[in-house]
Structure 1
Amino acid sequence: MLETAGDVAQRFRLRVPTGTTGLDRPIRWTHISELADPTPWLRGGEMLLTLGLELDDPDELAAYAERLARAGIAALGFGIGVRHPAVPPALVAGAGAHGLAVLEIPRGVSFQDITFHVNADLLHTGAAEARLIAEGVSSMTMVARSAGTQGIVATLAARIDSWAVLMDRHGNVHAAVGAARVHIDDARAAALGQRSRIRHPGLTVYGVGDPVRPRAHLVVAPRPDRITLTRELAQHAALLLDLALNPLSGGDTWGLARADAVDALMSGDPALVSRVSARWNLLAGNVAVALLRSRSRAVPLEDNALEWCADLDLPPLVSSESSLVTVLLPEDELGRWTARVAEAVEREGVPARCGIGTAQPLPSCLLSRRQAEQALAVAVADARPVVEFAGLPTQRLILQHLDPAARGALTTPLLPLLENDSTRVLLRSLRVFLSENSSWEAASSQLGIHRHTLRQRMTRVEELTGLSMSVTEDRVIAWLALQALQLGDAP
């Protein structure tokens, strides 16, 4: 524990003309100066020792006390008997007004004695604090293996002799140790940046996971004499909590493993599908494909999808490619998944659109992906959080049950486009433009191109197809042709 101003006064039997004000402040070092303004050489937390050789005028003494208080020193030791017979009243009044303790040092007590003893104790305290930090990190690491997040938070609170709260990014409490309801309310306000009065000042918030978009917040209330210890242990606790909340988050390797598993399960190779499904605990039942697209290019959805899988206790079969996130879902979990995504969009503000195909046997889940693409297009066009392909009876009746010749007839308007668009750039631009309800701004943002470039492409589409994108009937013809074309490509 760091020495306080009160400890120094008691050890050297010093008079304290400012009373009990500021005596509990911890001292981090000592400094001697006779400058009228030593603040440029102070870092805060020092005990400053002076004889006041440059100080005489009452106004100067009051201003001197205010400068020191603003610099954050722990206490002022004022030597008497050389320049001043006693601590000047103006200095006492000025220091007391700013909560700064003044210790009167008589001629029989040398500054060197105070400096030697206090700084020696501080060095010893620093070594002890380093030992406490090492022991605390070791304890939290050991308990993390058996007790998870609750054990980490409990150990941290015990080591810093204070309370600690762990909550998710929405303010829901994961673990709270030593914290009453008022502490939790203050922790939530501090973590989420809410505009409410925090009754416990000095709270410190540590992000768990991604520093830009943390998956959780660790809030602690450091004691004044354990600030360094609290900071070091809380930072280590945040790292351990990140692993405890998502033990499989292994960076790029984990992402590649998930992507490879999703690709293998949709490969259609029965032997490969069987091996991979066994490893991912998908031994029985059908699987549906969900596709997600973010309405904001600045908000990737892969982390959200992984978080939702964790919330629902689902296998994290999630992969991301370009602007699409693919998720494989067990058939009996579609209802819970739909509700979770809808809640995230409508209540949590996640800018997502989701399309879900029908559940299929694993070797045939590529068909579910095709259906999910069509459902996602409807979700984007209609501004709906989630659309299931099974809930699109009109499209299924009109397109899925048409014979190949009838579907081919629907695609006729796009044949000139297909013949002159070998890279499919125009076809994709048309699909996105119509999916975004003919919004130039949204479609160009989704495609990552300038609005003028999109207008040039749409002009070329109109020239090739004879359809006008400003005419509702022509847009409907183009949309049906796109859907028929896509459905015709499905196995």
Structure 2
Amino acid sequence: MLETVGDVAQRFRLRVPTGPTGLDRPIRWTHISELPDPTPWLRGGELLLTLGLQIDRLAPREAFAAYIRRLAEARVAALGFGVGVRHTSVPEPLVAAAAEHGLAVLEIPSGIPFQDITYQLNGDLLRTGAAESRLIAEGVSSMTKVARSAGPEGIVATLSARIDSWAVLMDRRGRTHAAVGAARVHLDDARAAALGQRSRIRHPGLTVYGVGDPVRPRAHLVVAPRPDRISLTRELAQHAALLLDLALNPLSGGDTWGLARADAVDALMSGDQGLVQRVSARWNLLAGNVAVALLRSRSRAVPLEENVLEWCAELDLPPLVSSESSLVTVILPEDELGRWSARVCEAVEREGVPARCGVGTTQPPSASLLSRRQAEQALEVAVADARPVVEFAELPTQRLILQHLDPAARAALTSPLRPLLENDSTRTLLRSLRVFLSENNNWEAASSQLGIHRHTLRQRMGRVEELTGLSVGVTEDRVIAWLALQALQADPIP
């Protein structure tokens, strides 16, 4: 426990001309200085000792006011003013300025050397620091142990007990996940602090710690540190945030989890019956059919895969999610499609997530690849029509036309793009053409979606025109190319 300004005044029997103001502030160190501006050498929380030899050389009242203002801005705990050398008592302008800023002033008589105060207080602070280090180690150990059995709620409860104050864990939208010792007003303040609404906070001194990614945390830990336990609270809360990150998502600690999810998605789309059955059993998908959803973000700065994983967690869905290039693939149980579509619409329309989603029809797990092809077509419609979610089942005309074409008609429909298939083994030109047409011939949007410069996209479209004889500037040619692309997706040519 750190000594407060009031404790020091009582220990050395010092007069406090500023009254009770600021006596509850903890003292973290003592510092002696006669500089008019000692703040560059201060870190906050110090008891600053001075005889005032250099403060009032010019204009006393203005100099004292400026001096106190600098100390208050540097968050000095208190000012110890020595009398009997330059000043017979603490100057009234200095007392008035200190009272205005809520800074306590201790009057130190000439019979008490500054060295006695610094020796005793700093020695006690060093011993207190060692004791605090033990408290931190014990607190971290306790939170680690309880995390294994009680999860996030246990971590927050242990933290609250160790810092002797309340603590709240909230998700990124301000919903309470765990709260200990917090009344309704505290929850409101914690939510305002977590969401950055500082003007609405009634409880001063709240501290927010991000859980997970520091740029885009998945949750917020809000604590109300006691004035005498600020450093202890800071250390324990930082460790609690790390433990909460692991407790909320124990498999988020590296690429292994992402690789496992991607491998599971690839296995389900492999068509290998035995492999599909094993993966389905492990991911609890044997109960029914599944559908594939494809999502794309119009902003490359948005971590869409993280959003999708959060939505799966909220809906209690298996996190069968993988990301490749600009697409995120999700495999969904048949009976969860309604909730999934509603969640994506909410994210796009209310939370501002710039995403589009296409959903294929439900199929047995072994036919997931067909659902994915359908999801690709639905996604293109969602992008073209600026709709949050489009289901392939909502596109009866296109589905019927493509499914009932005979081989000769399909070959005729896809023939304009055969030169691309024959001369572009990487399908770079084909994909660039698809994105360009789905973005309504918008060069900027298409090049951003592809992650290339618009001049590079123009060069690719020039190569497409050269190989196919079609012009992307002619409406009729664009329609021919678009129909050919749809036919290729419904029944790809090897």
- Which TM-score band applies after superposition, normalised by the shorter structure? over 0.9
Show the counterpart of 1:170. 173
What are the equivalent positions in structure 2 for 1:27-46 lying under 5 Å apart?
A: 27-46=27-46
Indicate which of 156, 161, 170 corresponds to 1:158. 161
Residue 113 of structure 1 and its aligned partner are, at CA, apart by 2.5
Indicate which of 385, 394, 398 corresponds to 2:397. 394
Show the counterpart of 1:258. 261
Inter-partner Cα distance in structure 1 for 2:368 and 2:334: 11
Show the counterpart of 1:50. 50
What's the secondary structure of 1:30's corresponding residue? strand
One-letter identity of the residue aligned with 1:14: L
8 A contact 1:186–1:199 mirrored in 2: yes
Please tell me the root mean square deviation across aligned C-alpha atoms, in Å. Answer: 2.1
Inter-partner Cα distance in structure 2 for 1:427 and 1:210: 36
Inter-partner Cα distance in structure 1 for 2:168 and 2:189: 10
Show the counterpart of 2:26. 26
Q: TM-score, normalised by structure 1?
A: 0.94
Residue 55 of structure 1 and its aligned partner are, at CA, apart by 5.2
Inter-partner Cα distance in structure 2 for 1:10 and 1:62: 27
One-letter identity of the residue aligned with 1:441: E
Show the counterpart of 1:9. 9
Residue 474 of structure 1 and its aligned partner are, at CA, apart by 2.9
Inter-partner Cα distance in structure 2 for 1:326 and 1:70: 52
C-alpha change, 1:477 and 1:56, in structure 2 (3 Å) is: closer
What's the secondary structure of 1:489's corresponding residue? coil
Q: Does 1:228 align with 2:231?
A: yes
8 A contact 1:416–1:464 mirrored in 2: yes
Residue 422 of structure 1 and its aligned partner are, at CA, apart by 4.1
**Cα offsets for 1:279-318 (capped at 9, x unmatched):** 2222231121111111111223111111111111111111
C-alpha change, 1:221 and 1:347, in structure 2 (3 Å) is: same
**Cα offsets for 1:249-303 (capped at 9, x unmatched):** 2311111111111111211111222222222222231121111111111223111
One-letter identity of the residue aligned with 2:18: T
Indicate which of 62, 76, 83 corresponds to 2:79. 76
8 A contact 1:370–1:490 mirrored in 2: no
What's the secondary structure of 2:68's corresponding residue? helix
Stretches of structure 1 that go unaligned for 5 or more consecutive residues are: none
C-alpha change, 1:436 and 1:35, in structure 2 (3 Å) is: closer
Inter-partner Cα distance in structure 1 for 2:129 and 2:24: 19
Inter-partner Cα distance in structure 1 for 2:41 and 2:281: 67
Q: Which moved more, 1:322-331 or 1:194-203?
A: 194-203
Q: Which moved more, 1:33-42 or 1:121-130?
A: 33-42
C-alpha change, 1:357 and 1:490, in structure 2 (3 Å) is: farther
Residue 405 of structure 1 and its aligned partner are, at CA, apart by 1.8
Show the counterpart of 1:268. 271
C-alpha change, 1:473 and 1:73, in structure 2 (3 Å) is: same
Q: Which moved more, 1:123-132 or 1:172-181?
A: 172-181
Inter-partner Cα distance in structure 2 for 1:56 and 1:347: 59
One-letter identity of the residue aligned with 2:40: P
Indicate which of 85, 89, 100 corresponds to 1:86. 89
Q: Does 1:361 align with 2:390?
A: no
8 A contact 1:404–1:488 mirrored in 2: no
Q: Which moved more, 1:53-62 or 1:133-142?
A: 53-62
What's the secondary structure of 1:456's corresponding residue? helix
What's the secondary structure of 1:103's corresponding residue? strand
C-alpha change, 1:55 and 1:352, in structure 2 (3 Å) is: closer
Indicate which of 340, 345, 353 corresponds to 1:342. 345
Residue 433 of structure 1 and its aligned partner are, at CA, apart by 0.9
8 A contact 1:39–1:67 mirrored in 2: yes
One-letter identity of the residue aligned with 2:8: V
Show the counterpart of 1:380. 383
What's the secondary structure of 1:247's corresponding residue? coil
One-letter identity of the residue aligned with 1:102: V
Show the counterpart of 1:108. 111
One-letter identity of the residue aligned with 2:25: R
One-letter identity of the residue aligned with 1:49: L
8 A contact 1:25–1:74 mirrored in 2: yes
Aligned-residue identity in percent: 86
One-letter identity of the residue aligned with 1:246: N
Inter-partner Cα distance in structure 2 for 1:377 and 1:39: 61
What's the secondary structure of 2:13's corresponding residue? coil
C-alpha change, 1:423 and 1:256, in structure 2 (3 Å) is: closer
Inter-partner Cα distance in structure 1 for 2:74 and 2:367: 70
8 A contact 1:292–1:353 mirrored in 2: yes
Inter-partner Cα distance in structure 1 for 2:149 and 2:184: 27
Inter-partner Cα distance in structure 2 for 1:236 and 1:35: 39
Indicate which of 436, 441, 451 corresponds to 1:438. 441
What's the secondary structure of 2:48's corresponding residue? strand
Q: Does 1:95 align with 2:88?
A: no
Indicate which of 139, 152, 163 corresponds to 1:136. 139
Show the counterpart of 2:313. 310
Residue 469 of structure 1 and its aligned partner are, at CA, apart by 2.7
One-letter identity of the residue aligned with 1:27: I
C-alpha change, 1:37 and 1:371, in structure 2 (3 Å) is: closer
Residue 206 of structure 1 and its aligned partner are, at CA, apart by 0.9
C-alpha change, 1:254 and 1:81, in structure 2 (3 Å) is: same
C-alpha change, 1:376 and 1:7, in structure 2 (3 Å) is: same
Inter-partner Cα distance in structure 2 for 1:335 and 1:56: 75
What's the secondary structure of 1:16's corresponding residue? coil
Inter-partner Cα distance in structure 2 for 1:16 and 1:107: 15
What's the secondary structure of 1:314's corresponding residue? coil
One-letter identity of the residue aligned with 2:460: R
C-alpha change, 1:195 and 1:399, in structure 2 (3 Å) is: farther
Residue 8 of structure 1 and its aligned partner are, at CA, apart by 0.7
**Cα offsets for 1:84-103 (capped at 9, x unmatched):** 33222233223222222111
Residue 62 of structure 1 and its aligned partner are, at CA, apart by 4.1
Show the counterpart of 1:219. 222
What are the equivalent positions in structure 2 for 1:412-451 lying under 5 Å apart?
A: 412-451=415-454
Stretches of structure 2 that go unaligned for 5 or more consecutive residues are: none
What's the secondary structure of 2:299's corresponding residue? coil
What's the secondary structure of 1:411's corresponding residue? helix
One-letter identity of the residue aligned with 1:255: G
Inter-partner Cα distance in structure 1 for 2:424 and 2:37: 76
C-alpha change, 1:55 and 1:441, in structure 2 (3 Å) is: closer
Inter-partner Cα distance in structure 2 for 1:62 and 1:250: 53
Inter-partner Cα distance in structure 2 for 1:84 and 1:290: 79
Inter-partner Cα distance in structure 2 for 1:81 and 1:486: 92
Residue 447 of structure 1 and its aligned partner are, at CA, apart by 1.5
C-alpha change, 1:456 and 1:146, in structure 2 (3 Å) is: same
C-alpha change, 1:213 and 1:55, in structure 2 (3 Å) is: closer
